[in-house]
Structure 1
């Protein structure tokens, strides 16, 4: 996951995920069709802001007994909001900074200003919606965004209010302070919650000994593999003897050093995880089997040059249009055992593993594991 350039928090892999939000909000978001979850949490919440304000207007406006002119203005404002709502499902939000979602609270505040200046019965009735807009800004947009919104929000608030007098001026000064306090407090709280959620996610997906990925994280990463990507399974040779001779503390240090070597020796887009015990899995993107074996050979040389306590064997399998990631993992594991049978401290590809193909069955691997 990459840091968000706007606020330093971690951007989620799926736009509708809000792990720091209340359970009811997360559950409701998951029920929204994927098309309407596009754009990230700020955009999803912006759509909700439009819907909530529209629903409250529809439920309460009849109490104010609007005349025909008021109804016409209200219909025009509603049509504009619905057009933005529909357009938000197709806009390329991923290309824009997160503050592009300001279009949602600005639309709400602009609509309230139009109602305040163009109607007789609705002026001033819905200015509390400005607070809701700043709550949205505080929760879903980076800190200090509210300060940048003020030069637009204050004139729109005055337009949405009743006739301008000294009372309105004093009230405006009070509500501006309230907006800023509420928005900034919520922004700091949301930032802390996101940071705490990031720590939990990172801990849940990181092997505590080697600090590279763990099996849970590996399973998620494997769902993103494509044809041409290569799965490599590495296993430290005679690791039990290392533990028996030098003790488990020394063995743990060997695992830590091996994990650090993998993390430092791979390309930025490649990935390493501890699969279990002394076994590690590498995911090499767009490499092909030949280049992947070259990468492993380079890692082996680095490990030797660094004085590795033991050697390692490896097996490679490259995905194609009909090979799944799980099948490639099984094939790479089978190739690993072929490397061990050939004398260890070497790499074998699935195609060269004594006739095992990339779609070898899991039972074959289990049978081979008993030999080692």
Structure 2
């Protein structure tokens, strides 16, 4: 089957060319997360800008030694960054990237005559990095080190340089804080959109999309349970859809409040719900469903529910277990409702549906 051509615009938005190039790098150079990768990019960008523009300043041979020494230090920093366990360190540890580059520019500005003051605009780039990748107010932590390093990079100290330093320091902080606040709001909005996209609006538990994503994480020993409210259509017809919606809300709330931590409930569609019980096995899963049945009865549920369950093994996929649990559910319906049946695995998940000990209707 030929794959449908991808929209070029969508491809360009989802995977820019620089990301395709970066994907070819060794995995250790991509380790550490986006902020660490951006820190390495900051080091590379700063070093390349200096190396490519220093020749325009015609420095003497002695100045070139300083430039090449700083380039070697950048390479050493990049290599060292691949061995640091960034995920175990505080976020402010990432200040090592801009601080190292500031220190390098300070050495360059103070040790050479031709380069002094040429690269002070790069300091704003370091605060842009802080604003984009570190928590708000981190710029204030960087400022005490940035000011003296900036003065070392600048021309000889005088009143004009001092005033300019105070102005640019305000600009640095404003840029970093505005970016940090914008990033935080965008992330909050993105999290809200993701949560809304994965939540059933009526019951406020997971929806089918959320369920499909979570099913990819199931492992042998996990159990899929499919629950269906009995005679729900009759309930809607006799008492109205508003009452039926309230029953669905109450059932979803009962599931969310009664499952173990790590287990998950989602509305599969209509009055059908799916539970993912991690590491339970068939026997304990049946006990969980029975406790849910008792809790639902104690809350005065307007109707009973039937359930089917299937436990994954080494040759069973999550989707096969879902199909088997659904078949077991309909076996429970045929057996009189208000009961649970389990599906035992056969080759390829036939499935073979076997009745467990019936629960009293």
Q: TM-score, normalised by structure 2?
A: 0.86
* Pair member with larger Rg: 2
**Equivalent in the alignment of 2:297:** 304
Question: How big is each residue's C-alpha offset from its partner over 1:242-298, in whole Å with a ceiling of 9 and x where there is no partner?
Answer: 111111111111111111111111122111111111111111222222222221111
Q: Does 1:360 align with 2:360?
A: no
Q: Distance in 1 between matches of 2:198 and 2:107?
A: 50
**Equivalent in the alignment of 2:224:** 231
**Equivalent in the alignment of 2:331:** 338
| 1:212-291 equivalent positions in 2, closer than 5 A | 212-291=205-284
**Equivalent in the alignment of 1:180:** 173
Moved more, 87-96 or 134-143: 87-96
Runs of 4 or more, structure 1, over 4 Å off, are: 23-26, 34-37
| 1:48-63 equivalent positions in 2, closer than 5 A | 48-63=41-56
Unaligned runs of 5+ residues in structure 1 are 1-22, 366-372
* DSSP 3-state at the match of 2:160: helix
* DSSP 3-state at the match of 1:152: helix
| 1:146-225 equivalent positions in 2, closer than 5 A | 146-225=139-218
**Equivalent in the alignment of 1:324:** 317
Q: CA RMSD in A?
A: 2.3
Q: Distance in 1 between matches of 2:232 and 2:146?
A: 66
Question: How big is each residue's C-alpha offset from its partner over 1:100-134, in whole Å with a ceiling of 9 and x where there is no partner?
Answer: 22222122212212212222322221111110110
* DSSP 3-state at the match of 2:337: coil
Alpha-carbon offset, residue 30 of structure 1? 5.1
Kept after mapping to 1: 8 A contact 2:51/2:67: no
Question: How big is each residue's C-alpha offset from its partner over 1:317-343, in whole Å with a ceiling of 9 and x where there is no partner?
Answer: 222232222222222222222222222
Aligned CA distance change for structure 1 residues 318 and 118 (closer, same or farther; 3 Å): farther
Alpha-carbon offset, residue 85 of structure 1? 2.4
Aligned CA distance change for structure 1 residues 25 and 217 (closer, same or farther; 3 Å): closer
Aligned CA distance change for structure 1 residues 204 and 128 (closer, same or farther; 3 Å): same
Alpha-carbon offset, residue 24 of structure 1? 5.4
Q: Distance in 1 between matches of 2:29 and 2:263?
A: 32
**Equivalent in the alignment of 1:118:** 111
Aligned CA distance change for structure 1 residues 285 and 35 (closer, same or farther; 3 Å): farther
Q: Distance in 1 between matches of 2:47 and 2:347?
A: 56
Alpha-carbon offset, residue 240 of structure 1? 1.0
Aligned CA distance change for structure 1 residues 160 and 26 (closer, same or farther; 3 Å): farther
Q: TM-score, normalised by structure 1?
A: 0.84
**Equivalent in the alignment of 1:106:** 99
Kept after mapping to 1: 8 A contact 2:267/2:274: yes
